[in-house]
Amino acid sequence: MERKKFDSISELKEFIDSEGEESDILEYKDYKTNDDVKRHQDEIIDCIVALANKRGGYLIIGVDDDKNLVYANNIVFPLFKDQVEKWIDSFVDPRGLLDMQIKRVSDDKGQCIIIYVNSKPGVCFARRKEGREKGVTSYFFPYRIGGSTKKLNFEDFFKIYVQKFLESLAVSSELIKKEEEKMHPIRVRVISGKEKPFNSELVNNYINILRTLKLSTKNIDRLLQSIRNEVLKVYSRRKINEEDLPAIKNLVAFACEFIKNTDEGMTKKIFGILYLLTKVPETLHIVKETCYDYLKEIYEHGKRYDDLVKILDACGFFGDRIDGIMKAIESRDQKLLDILVSRLDFAAVKERKFELIKELVLKTNSLDQERDKEIINKVFNLITQLEEL
């Protein structure tokens, strides 16, 4: 289940007031700094996995146990986001079953950070190295019970695993029924808690259907979602078998054809699939080799889809991102600025932060203080984050 997103501090406060105390879907933390966050790595991982294993929920940073907004102003958000995403990628199995987004909301007093955890069929484990030499890998099954995160024993875990497995069968059975009614003989595969290998045959066949048949928007969307589910397996494992590379090449070539002949909504879905492929070196190479020039052309014609920018960034279009940030300021492109700042490796630029601050201040001098007020505020927010490094 997709969790409601908050667009402002006031919306967040209304939610906190209505929900009340911590619960099986809600956890508050008042971490003060990025170092404080780092010290609580295991606690954060366990809480996120526990929420996913229960029914999804929220981990909110900047609220104390008494529901007071204490903000998280000394946490550098891009560093926090990068830190938590790397932990989840490294210490959660199977990674593909954990669906989360990390966002922040702010007002004139500061920021709060929200980790949205969505519910999916299946169960996840947290793992970590233990023992004197940190040589033993232990697996834990975190689960929310009331307002606490607990590590269940095997017996309790097995009961919940069976329950969630049966839920996944029920969901998949309903999908199969709908698919049979509308698109026979195409089948939706049953999803269980165990990840299956990338299905190159399914991808190639669905691409062939999309290329050769005139389908309704709903049916196109269904097939693209099935293809995306296969690509997510590659993304979650961060690797691809050599025998599956032809299917990926076919998919990327099809994506370029499809973008030229479809509406904006479907275009965004295709960009989302291509972006997942940029996360694996072998498939990133295919994206660069097959459609980099065309994607660059789309961007240079003024399109600023989030995933398009991320794909070009992964392909090296924006260099070290600093150059792209400076160009975004010059062109007053707020959306591009937001995307590149969110992807900036702050740790990598720490040594030259004052040089960058000087350059950013000079950039704001060339802007109109009234007309460009919003982008100037974004630049000074970036300067603040650099100062805190």
* Residue-level pLDDT at 131: 47
* Residue-level pLDDT at 137: 67
Q: pLDDT tens digits for the chain (389 residues)?
A: 567 888 899 899 988 888 878 888 999 999 989 999 999 999 999 999 999 988 899 999 999 988 889 999 999 999 999 999 999 988 888 888 889 999 999 988 999 999 999 887 777 888 876 544 455 567 788 988 888 898 876 666 766 666 666 555 554 445 444 544 444 333 333 333 445 788 999 999 999 988 888 888 888 888 999 999 899 888 887 888 899 999 999 999 999 888 887 777 788 889 999 999 998 999 999 999 999 999 988 888 888 788 888 898 888 888 778 888 888 888 888 878 888 887 787 887 888 888 888 888 888 888 888 888 888 888 888 888 888 87
Chain-centroid distance of CA 364 in Å reads 31
Short-list 258, 190, 276, CA closest to 220:
258
User: Torsion angle of alpha carbons 46, 47, 49, 52, nearest 10°?
Assistant: 170
* Residue-level pLDDT at 187: 35
* Residue-level pLDDT at 166: 59
pLDDT digits 0-9 by tens, 155-178: 667 666 666 665 555 544 454 445
* Residue-level pLDDT at 49: 93
Which string of b and e fits 149-170 if b means at least 16 CB within 10 Å? beebeeeebeeebeebbeebee
Helix (H, G, I), strand (E, B) or coil at 104: strand
Sheet containing 92-93: which strands, arranged edge to edge? Answer: 92-93, 125-130, 136-140
Rounded Cα–Cα distance for residues 109 and 131 (Å): 43
Prediction pTM value: 0.47
- Provide the 10 A C-beta neighbour count for residue 246: 11
Rounded Cα–Cα distance for residues 228 and 309 (Å): 19
Rounded Cα–Cα distance for residues 351 and 320 (Å): 14
Please state which CATH class domain 9-151 belongs to: alpha beta
* Residue-level pLDDT at 227: 92
The answer to whether residues 71 and 109 touch, using CB atoms and an 8 Å cutoff, is yes
Rounded Cα–Cα distance for residues 154 and 67 (Å): 34
The CA-based angle 267-272-273, given to 5 degrees, is 100
Short-list 319, 337, 340, 320, CA closest to 328:
337
Rounded Cα–Cα distance for residues 327 and 318 (Å): 9
Residues 6+ apart with CB under 8 A from 174: none
